[in-house]
Amino acid sequence: MTEETEPAGPATDPSAPVLAPWLREILRCPLCKSILSDGKGPDGPELHCTDPKCRRAYRIDDSIPVLLVDESRILPD
């Protein structure tokens, strides 16, 4: 009898990307429309705005980016 294993993914492999590559390419900061980069926050993975004037961080809940400005946090300098 062989043991079946689940495919590696965000829930099983901490080094796996949180978002699909095609999704990463189209996401933009809802406030300034700049590109978002992967980052780490106090509660886990985040998307960070690349505009130094905006400095917003958006959390990712269960592989779903929460791109709401009201729920974002401002990155420290």
Domain ranges of the chain: 38-77
pLDDT in tens, the chain (77 residues): 544 444 444 444 555 557 888 888 899 999 999 999 999 999 999 999 999 999 999 999 988 999 999 999 999 98
What is residue 33's DSSP assignment? -
The letter for the amino acid at 43 is D
* Contact between 49 and 36 (Cβ < 8 Å): yes
Contacts of 1 (CB under 8 A, 6+ apart): none
